[in-house]
Amino acid sequence: MPATTQTVLVADPESDFLDWATKHLGTPKTKIIGTTSAEEALNLYEKEKPDLLLAEFHLQPFTGMELLKKVRLNDPNAMVVLNTGFPPTSAIIEAMRLGAFDFLRKESLPYDLRPVVEEVLKAKEEMQSTHAKSAPVSLPEGDTESIIGNSTAMQEVIKMIGRVSRSDAPVLITGESGCGKEVVANAIHRFSRRASADYVAINCAAIPENLLESELFGHEKGSFTGAIGRRVGRFEQCNDGTLFLDEIGDMPLAVQSKILRVLQSGEFARLGGNDSLNSSARIVAATNKILEKAVSENSFREDLYYRLNVVRIHIPPLRQRREDIRPLAQHFLKRIADKGGPTLRLSEEAADMMENYNWPGNVRELENTIYRSSVLATTDVLLPSNIPLGNLGETTTRVRPAPTKKEEAEASTESTPTPTPAPGSNGKVSVEQAVETLLNAAENDPSLELLPWLEREMTSHAMKRTGGNQLQAAKLLGITRATLRKRLERFEIEV
């Protein structure tokens, strides 16, 4: 169980700042220890084992950066936040590279310090809980392409794979991009009687039309410019194996007619050749398009559609099988470790956050996110702050632009005490002025229900700022997710 009292070690050359930090951060559950010396801070860290080290960059007899290095050398999971007046970009980059949790500007501390400290302490508590409760993950043995899925939908897909593997019938796999169609196609081959023969995958959308025909059927020497010799096509190469045609909905009509002939008779000819060849390759096709619509628009041959659609396997998107997200993430973490990467675990809060994300890129996006998180992680437990979600891989947590007066006023309604200026900062704290303005507005407009209005506005803005992520919005507001849901229902805020 995590300790009931958590410790913050503050190292700053100014004693006034230490006094301010003690008053600003101290709570019945938070113990503050202060020192003006980097050397003493190092000794105190080894003695007290604090949950957070908050260090000024310009310490003596060595800098806060050196203190960060020394602390992280002995404790790889140490949570360290550096701060200074105007940190150089290079120093910020180096500090984050060394594993600092954050690097704050001193003038922003009245706004940013408490949320960062609360986040660190919560993360530390989550890490301790994860270490205490974590158990070995039960995952399939064998190759890294095992199909992971405990949901009812994926269990049906797995059953269908077993059924179609017994025959040589063509299979059409449908589903959104990134949902795992190629993994399913590979499994069909591996469990079929053709497993010892070749498995060849072709992305029909990635090869130009003039080369796709040669890729599939081969060509004779001199059949076109650049054909300096005979080439064996994929149908010929995997004669007794499986040919996977990915993104077949993007295949040109001219090539579709030749694919149809192979499916009907098994016959084809190389480009520029007169000899009729035969192939018994099994065709497994996949698409993220709605082929029925393509047929109606005359961009896909109807006869080829019926030839391919003998057995259909549809893979639902990841957002419709959220119970598969956690085991998939654990599977990818295990694969990273097996390949020589760091051995990482997933915190409960991070898993909850991922299960509440919609994953527009499906399993492929999840895999890339886990890999990216493993690169950015500074501890052996992945926390929500380590999981980059959304566009361009930007982390959706801990983004704190300078607060507006309205945001400061909204913050005053929460349980967090009003921040006071830090010594050495400009002290531009206007929360009291904003509160006075709002109270004056309420006096002038008796119909204005001030607190309910603030609560509704804060909830709405928190949802917008976090992109609709309820877990992060609740965290931002300092309330539980259950409380947030009640607010969303009460104020009829669209998610």
Mean pLDDT of 342-366: 91
Which pLDDT value is given to residue 153? 87
Write out pLDDT tens, residues 10-68: 999 999 999 999 999 998 889 999 999 999 999 999 999 999 999 999 999 999 999 99
- Is a pLDDT exceeding 60 seen at residue 244? yes
Query: What's the pLDDT score for residue 399?
Result: 39
Q: Could you give the CA distance from residue 421 to residue 403 in angstroms, rounded to a whole number?
A: 15
Q: What integer pLDDT is reported at residue 202 of this predicted model? A: 93
Look at residue 166 in the predicted model and tell me its pLDDT: 83
Taking only the tens place, the pLDDT of each residue in 281-290 is 999 999 999 9
Segment among 86-100, 121-135, 250-264 with least mean pLDDT: 121-135
Question: Is pLDDT at 411 greater than 70 in this prediction?
Answer: no
Q: What pLDDT is stored for residue 418 in this prediction? A: 43
**So what's the pLDDT on residue 426?**
44
Statement: residue 306 has pLDDT above 50: yes
Which is higher by pLDDT, 447 or 42? 42
| Token pair for 486 | 């009640």
Both tokens of 445, joined, read 């407009």
Q: For residues 73 and 69, what is the distance between their CA atoms, to the nearest angstrom?
A: 6
If one counts every other C-beta atom within 10 angstroms of the C-beta of residue 406, the result is: 15
Task: pLDDT band for 354, please (50, 70, 90 cuts).
Answer: very high
Over residues 268-278, the mean pLDDT reads 82
Q: Which amino acid is at 52?
A: L
51, with CB counted inside 10 A (0-12, 13-18, 19+), is buried
Bigger pLDDT: 457 vs 332: 332
Residue 410 has pLDDT above 80, yes or no: no
- What's phi and psi for 314, nearest 5 deg? -105, 130
Q: Kindly report the three-state secondary structure assignment for every residue of 276-304.
A: CEECCCEEEEEECCCHHHHHHCCCCCHHH
Helix locations, 238-385, DSSP H: 253-265, 291-296, 302-308, 325-338, 348-355, 362-376
Please report the pLDDT score of residue 189 as a whole number.
92
Contact (CB, 8 A) for 272 and 227: yes
Q: Across all residues in the chain, what is the average pLDDT?
A: 82
Whole-number pLDDT of residue 429: 42
Question: What integer pLDDT is reported at residue 165 of this predicted model?
Answer: 87
- Choice between 346 and 436, residue whose per-residue pLDDT is larger: 346
Note the pLDDT of residue 434: 67
Asked if residue 149 has pLDDT above 70, the reply is yes
What is the pLDDT at residue 438? Answer: 74
pLDDT grade for 276, boundaries at 50, 70 and 90: confident
List, as own/partner pairs, every contact residues 227-234 make where C-beta atoms lie below 8 angstroms and the sequence separation is at least 24, other chains included.
227/271, 227/272, 230/270, 231/270, 233/268, 233/270, 234/200, 234/202, 234/281
End-to-end CA distance of the chain: 35
**What integer pLDDT is reported at residue 432 of this predicted model?**
63
Beta carbons within 10 angstroms of residue 76's beta carbon:
11
pLDDT top residue among 431 and 307: 307
| Omega within 30 of 0 (cis) for the link into 61 | yes
The dihedral region occupied by 344, where left means phi > 0, alpha psi between -120 and 50, and beta the remainder, is beta
Rounded to the nearest 5°, which phi and psi values hold at 374?
Answer: -65, -30
Determine the pLDDT at residue 132.
52
pTM over 0.75? The answer is: no
pLDDT digits (tens, 9 = 90+) for 369-394: 999 998 878 788 888 878 888 644 44
Inter-residue contact 220 to 263 (CB < 8 Å): no
Cα 370 to its chain centre, rounded Å, is 6
Distance, in Å, from the CA atom of 366 to the CA atom of 347, rounded to the nearest integer, reads 16
* 105 DSSP β-pair partners: 84
Section 252-265 average pLDDT: 90
pLDDT of residue 98 exceeding 90, the answer is: no
Highest-pLDDT range among 26-30, 408-412, 455-459: 26-30
Distance CA 329, CA 335 (A): 10
Has residue 203 got a pLDDT over 70?
yes
Are 478 and 416 contacting, i.e. CB atoms less than 8 angstroms apart?
A: yes
Which stretch of 73-87, 228-242, 384-398 has the lowest confidence by average pLDDT? Answer: 384-398
With cut-offs at 50, 70 and 90, classify the pLDDT of residue 311.
very high
Locate 1 and state its tokens.
């169980």
List the single range of 4-18, 135-149, 259-273 with lowest mean pLDDT: 135-149
**Residue scoring higher pLDDT (164 or 89):** 164
Render the burial of 416-446: b for 16+ CB within 10 Å, e for the rest: eeebeebbbbeeebebeebbeebeeeeeeee
What is the pLDDT at residue 141? 42
Closest CA to 378 of 96, 135, 137: 96
Give 334 or 390, the one with higher predicted confidence.
334
Q: Give the position of tokens 């099994």.
A: 282
pLDDT > 90 fraction of the chain, expressed in percent and rounded = 40
- Which residues in 461-482 are b (16+ Cβ under 10 Å) and which e? bbbebbeebbbbbbbbbebeee
| Residue 398 confidence (pLDDT) | 40
Are 427 and 16 in contact by the 8 Å Cβ rule? The answer is: no
